[in-house]
Chain A
Amino acid sequence: MSAKTLYDKLWDQHLVKQRDDGTALIYIDRHMLHEVTSPQAFEGLRLAKRKPWRLDANLATADHNVPTTLIERAEGNKGIKDPVSLIQVQTLDDNCLEYGITEFGINDPRQGIVHVIGPEQGATLPGMTVVCGDSHTATHGAFGALAHGIGTSEVEHVLATQCLLTQKMKNMQVRVEGELGLGVTAKDVVLAIIGKIGTAGGTGYAIEFAGSAIESLSMEGRMTVCNMAIEAGARVGMIAVDETTIDYIGNRPYAPTAEQWEAAVADWRNLVSDPDAEFDKIVTLDADEIEPQVSWGTSPEMVTGISGQVPDPEAALDETIKRSHVRALEYMGLQPNQKITDIQLDKVFIGSCTNSRIEDLREAAKVAKGKKVASNIQLAMVVPGSGLVKRQAEEEGLDKIFIEAGFEWREPGCSMCLAMNADKLGAGEHCASTSNRNFEGRQGYGGRTHLVSPAMAAAAAIAGHFVDVRSLPANDANHAQEA
């Protein structure tokens, strides 16, 4: 039998039918649902008089539209002031009730961002196929799962058939070798990867992240890396199973127990690429060379190290790139060759499916501890990824650190990552954000997003502009990644 990549193995284990026309049906083990991309899918089922194929494969929560202040959340759905958002959240509740799908409603302590709650509940397991109507579903690939972001028509297809109609992708391996410097986190690694291969570099590929620097990451860090595979153009990002993976899963509510646990773990240990497996493309990065990253433009590939500067469009490789750089600088209100550390900020957002897990909050809190948010920062907010992350952070006293430093401590949701609720940037405002996309208008009309790690966002909040988290005195940032 020929050597296989992790992706090949997961594909083979779920292949229901290969068709002559090149398409294939693959079986879906876990389907996560949220309020924005599901209503039209349920409507489609209803119109065609179809029923969900297997109820227990589905898990739903409302995350994109939910308000994040305590006052609003105390009222449940009634606290959603925007009537259009309310209809969407209510529609998810109604659909889940009608069809019998498990939903963590707005006031359930387990509610949160879908890509945080799946792993947190053990509902995401190694060897699973996981889909969700959200491009950041690649997050779940951190567990050695095959996780795809899908569109609404595919949501309906998965509900009705438990299968995804797809085509096999090509295999890419991104190796990050060596040791990450102090203050350099998973977020910096993935931004550096995107900076290197570009936002279309992974198009058509399933990316496996590997190498000693990836292996050294916690599950939270691995989720951050896989989360942004789509920002490199790849629908799928994944990391092989090891002890770190297995340790994380044990005792979670949906995880197997007793004899099934033993059998599952034995099976999961095979979820690695064979040593002589062939990849269609291999990209290698040297971990020592990665410094804390900051995006300066309107695409995640427009990123550089904290010691760098905004590029000069005149130096661009081709005319298309030059034009997009000119447009990006104009939108962002930045000058060619401006130092990254000279970018003044107005808001800071710590949260999103990329960076809202407990480790992210710990890293940010270490930097913020005993400090004050700079006077030019109008709003610095921390939005935990789930009710359970929030509870744990409070047990560790992280909320007090943030509040004393002048951050707002919010309720879980997608929040200002995409500004579908009231949390948004005003026109022209610069934001240090731990989210995943710096597209025009993403965080609010005319808003200017800079993507960074949680530690870098916290440091920027304290300084009022970007600073190198590695240059801060000991006992805070330099220990950030040890958490």
Chain B
Amino acid sequence: MKKFERFEGVVAPLDRANVDTDLIIPKQFLKSIKRTGFGVNLFDELRYLDEGQPGQDCSNRPLNPDFVLNQPRYQNAEILLTRRNFGCGSSREHAPWALEDFGFKVVIAPSFADIFYNNAFKNGLLLVRLEEDEIERLFQETEEREGYALDVDLENQRIITPRGEILEFDVDEFRKHCLLEGLDDIGITLQDDAVIRQFEQQHREQRPWLFR
């Protein structure tokens, strides 16, 4: 995993609540056995006017001109601004893979679904929860100013707007540490390999019927 560094990125507003993982990446694209290449099909049903197929060349597909990511001003967006309960539904990790592959590094919303929240951090995608009124303000400012960009400073858990306003956010220590250092969970857990073995042995003695 790449280390998450402070950056300034263009914001794309997706003004919609309860964006589910089927919408982020429709099921026909889950048939891949790879982790990459999902970006061209991110929000496929919103982004294109036809039905997408896996492995298809998307460069000639008809684009939906109304969809935010198709508008020239948001072409290089790295921050997605959206509404509450983003990422609800299926556990498919293809959702954060698609967001990242497209080029997003951060998603900002009032709330996220639990499984998506876990999956995102495990892939280096930072999710930032802000208050509803802060989100509302960011939507307005993004709309008003072309090229609207935010400075994302994970180390200090803050986002700085072009006007210099500072929005602080919470993130748990472990997830923050893994993102900043680009660490792999499995390697960290396996440092406790003896503790796991000891627990397992005791668990087996107490409840042998669980081991069959």
Distance A446 CA – B182 CA, assembled complex (angstroms): 40
A260: which of B27, B31, B123, B209 is its contact (CB, 8 Å)?
B209
For A233, list chain B residues within 8 Å (CB).
85, 88, 113-114
For A29, list chain B residues within 8 Å (CB).
210
For B18, list chain A residues within 8 Å (CB).
199-200, 299, 324
Distance A254 CA – B209 CA, assembled complex (angstroms): 9
For A321, list chain B residues within 8 Å (CB).
17
For B113, list chain A residues within 8 Å (CB).
200, 203, 233
For A234, list chain B residues within 8 Å (CB).
114
Say yes or no for A79: interface residue by CB 8 A criterion. no
Distance A68 CA – B166 CA, assembled complex (angstroms): 55
Say yes or no for A334: interface residue by CB 8 A criterion. no
Query: Provided the pairs A441-B23, A441-B45 are in contact, do residues A154 and B122 lie with their beta carbons within 8 angstroms?
Result: yes
Enumerate A112-149 residues with CB–CB distance to B below 8 Å: 125, 127-128, 133-135, 137, 149
Distance A441 CA – B174 CA, assembled complex (angstroms): 36
Contact A149 B115 (CB under 8 A): yes
Distance A23 CA – B176 CA, assembled complex (angstroms): 12
Contact A437 B31 (CB under 8 A): no
Task: Across the interface, name the chain B residue whose C-beta is closest to A420.
Answer: B27
A37: which of B92, B111, B203 is its contact (CB, 8 Å)?
B92
Contact A445 B211 (CB under 8 A): no
Query: Provided the pairs A135-B115, A442-B22 are in contact, do residues A21 and B173 lie with their beta carbons within 8 angstroms?
Result: yes
Task: Across the interface, name the chain A residue whose C-beta is closest to B190.
Answer: A161
Say yes or no for A244: interface residue by CB 8 A criterion. no
- Least CB distance, B50 to chain A, in whole angstroms: 9
Mark contacts of A224-235 with chain B using CB atoms, 8 A cut-off: 1 yes-contact digit, 0 otherwise.
Answer: 000000100111
- Least CB distance, B29 to chain A, in whole angstroms: 9
Distance A36 CA – B34 CA, assembled complex (angstroms): 11
Enumerate B112-170 residues with CB–CB distance to A below 8 Å: 113-115, 118-119, 122-123
Distance A235 CA – B112 CA, assembled complex (angstroms): 13
Contact B16 A441 (CB under 8 A): no
Say yes or no for A263: interface residue by CB 8 A criterion. yes
Say yes or no for B189: interface residue by CB 8 A criterion. yes
Contact A256 B196 (CB under 8 A): no
Contact A441 B115 (CB under 8 A): no
For B189, list chain A residues within 8 Å (CB).
25, 157, 160-161, 163, 165
Contact B186 A157 (CB under 8 A): yes
Distance A137 CA – B174 CA, assembled complex (angstroms): 25
Say yes or no for B51: interface residue by CB 8 A criterion. yes
Task: Across the interface, name the chain B residue whose C-beta is closest to A90.
Answer: B33
Say yes or no for A183: interface residue by CB 8 A criterion. no
Distance A135 CA – B22 CA, assembled complex (angstroms): 12
Say yes or no for B91: interface residue by CB 8 A criterion. yes
A88: which of B17, B31, B85, B174 is its contact (CB, 8 Å)?
B31
For A323, list chain B residues within 8 Å (CB).
15-17
Enumerate A242-260 residues with CB–CB distance to B below 8 Å: 254-256, 260
Enumerate B41-62 residues with CB–CB distance to A below 8 Å: 45, 51, 54-55
Contact A133 B114 (CB under 8 A): no
Say yes or no for A375: interface residue by CB 8 A criterion. no
B114: which of A37, A157, A235 is its contact (CB, 8 Å)?
A235
For B88, list chain A residues within 8 Å (CB).
199-200, 233
Say yes or no for B192: interface residue by CB 8 A criterion. yes
Contact B208 A260 (CB under 8 A): yes
Contact B119 A163 (CB under 8 A): no
Distance A29 CA – B203 CA, assembled complex (angstroms): 10
Say yes or no for B30: interface residue by CB 8 A criterion. yes
Say yes or no for A344: interface residue by CB 8 A criterion. no
Say yes or no for A50: interface residue by CB 8 A criterion. yes
Task: Across the interface, name the chain B residue whose C-beta is closest to A254.
Answer: B212
Query: Provided the pairs A157-B186, A200-B111, A260-B208 are in contact, do residues A23 and B33 lie with their beta carbons within 8 angstroms?
Result: no
10 nearest interchain CB pairs?
Answer: A256-B209, A151-B119, A39-B33, A153-B122, A151-B93, A21-B174, A152-B93, A135-B91, A445-B51, A200-B85
A151-B92, A256-B212 given. 19 additional CB < 8 A pairs?
A16-B199, A21-B172, A21-B173, A25-B189, A43-B33, A135-B115, A151-B91, A157-B186, A157-B189, A200-B111, A203-B111, A233-B114, A260-B209, A323-B17, A324-B18, A418-B90, A437-B90, A441-B23, A442-B22
For this complex, 14 residue pairs linking A to B, each with C-beta atoms less than 8 Å apart, are A14-B203, A16-B196, A17-B195, A56-B212, A88-B33, A135-B115, A151-B119, A153-B119, A156-B186, A199-B18, A199-B85, A199-B88, A261-B209, A327-B16
